[in-house]
Amino acid sequence: MLLKLARMPSVKPKKKIHFVSLGCPKNRVDTEVMLGVAQDGGFELTTEADEAEVIVVNTCGFIGEAKKESIDTIFEMAELKKVGSCEKLVVTGCLSQRYPTELSQQMPEVDHFLGTSDMLKLGKVLKGKADRMLVGNPADWVIKASDPRIITGARASAYLKIAEGCNRSCAFCTIPQFRGKQRSRPIDDVVREAKQLAQQGVLELNLISQDTIAYGRDQARDERSTLAELVQRVADESGAKWVRVFYLYPEKIDEALVDLLANHPRVVPYVDMPLQHASDAMLKKMKRGHGKDRQKRVVDHMRSSIPDLVFRTAFIVGHPGETEEDFAELVDFVEWAKFDHVGVFRYSDEETSGSTKIEPKVAEKTIASRWRKLMAAQRKIARAKNKALLGRELEVLVEGPSEEHELVMQGRYAGQAPEIDGHVYLSGGEALPGQMRKVRVTQAADYDLVGEIIDEETFTDAPAPKPKKRRVSLKVVGTQGDNA
């Protein structure tokens, strides 16, 4: 008897796509949505740019250094159309939203341009049925829980974007020009996404927007929610272990939010509040809408009301009109407040910002000197803060292998936000990414800690053979201010 063998249909290999995400966590969320769009479109995600048929660069256009990094990255990726597998180069985000005409004329290598509200349009691009210029109105889009999204980085931690845009008019900032006015997400939709992320194994939810304290103010009165209500519901309903709030503006803080930060077991007592300066004259030039006295009252109130508060802030040095007296006042303020974490930006003129018109300008050499002096003042404070933790027992979220040594695991305690505040290097035991482990702090440097694991291992899968206990020595002092 003859057997007829049916010809098996050949499986067409998936095309590969590579993403480069530049800038802030808000940009990262946008990139994660595009990752989801690409996967839904049948593309295979690759970390190797030279293997990808499609490359997407999500740009930052906030300040001069960020713009330069974005442009350099675009040209670097464009080279892979000559020597790699790249067939299509897509540029998205703030830079293309801000300069669509200029980029389209000066970058013929780029096949498609998308703006800050065009993440879902990537689907049309990947299908090959899209125009080259797809930059839309920045007010056209707000992320939804139903949008596809793939979490990047340490998978036990994720950013949760609660609003888009900003209604403030700070003199140095151009973000409202290319992100649009404030658009708060409905509270139910935010909570729905928070639950989805927790179901995927996310233990830490980091609430972000351009102006988080203003959440809900743009909503219709009968639909309006406050930030405190949102934080309460996310903490109560999501199932996440830690809920962290970023980017609070220095105005009078709702006492309900202060109470959550002080008392809720899943709301991290961590305040991120960019103050930008401490001189009344500079705060006025920056159009911040308040003076140093209000800032001092806010800092005092938060410190006295929230036990174990960890306070992060950011400042700008070299803003037009900043005198030596203004800068000295800023240094004095930092030494008075003793912030746990400080980021320092070096001012650069942006052609469409109000600050560009302010005189006199501060010389670049002076700006660099002031940056170094302020960072040196803060480094002493940070070192003392970390040394005060020696001997303390802390709960640490394990992230994965250290960048310094793949055999050493690293994580963060609640007072360290992802990517900006340093790490806890784990010593004396075995740990897996995504675990919460109890450690005792044994070493402290300017930004990082070493902690010895002191609890029992709680593996979710079959336990791996136990290696010899590793001892970790903290030899390198970090420079977290460089990433502000």
CA–CA separation, 232 vs 223, rounded Å?
A: 17
Q: What number of other Cβ atoms are within 10 A of residue 292's Cβ?
A: 18
Q: Which has the closest alpha carbon to 367: 386, 383, 344?
A: 344
Confirm whether residue 24 is marked as ligand binding. yes
Is the CB of residue 72 less than 8 Å from the CB of residue 44? no
CA–CA separation, 449 vs 444, rounded Å?
A: 5
Half-sphere exposure of 340 (CA within 13 A, CB side): 24
Amino acid at 425: Y
Q: Which residue has the tokens 């960020």?
A: 66
Half-sphere exposure of 27 (CA within 13 A, CB side): 24
Using the 8-state DSSP alphabet, how is residue 438 labeled? E
The pairing of beta strand 449-453 with beta strand 424-427? parallel
CA–CA separation, 102 vs 64, rounded Å?
A: 16
Q: How far is CA 338 from CA 291, 303, 311, 341, 365, in A?
A: 19, 11, 9, 9, 27
Is the CB of residue 438 less than 8 Å from the CB of residue 455? yes
Question: If you count DSSP H runs as helices and E runs as strands, how many of each does the chain have, helices first?
Answer: 14, 19
Using the 8-state DSSP alphabet, how is residue 139 labeled? G
User: SS3 letters for 119-138?
Assistant: HHHHHHHHHCCCCCEECCCH
Q: Which residue has the tokens 């018109």?
A: 357
CA–CA separation, 95 vs 422, rounded Å?
A: 29
Confirm whether residue 86 is marked as ligand binding. no
**Cβ-proximal residues to 149 (8 Å cutoff; 6+ apart), any chain:** 29, 32, 33, 35, 36
CA–CA separation, 91 vs 143, rounded Å?
A: 19
Q: How far is CA 304 from CA 262, 265, 271, 343, 378, in A?
A: 10, 18, 13, 23, 21
- Given strand 267-272, what is the order of strands in its sheet? 157-161, 204-208, 242-245, 267-272, 310-317, 341-346
The annotated binding site for [4Fe-4S] cluster is made up of 24, 60, 94, 166, 170, 173
The annotated binding site is made up of 24, 60, 94, 166, 170, 173
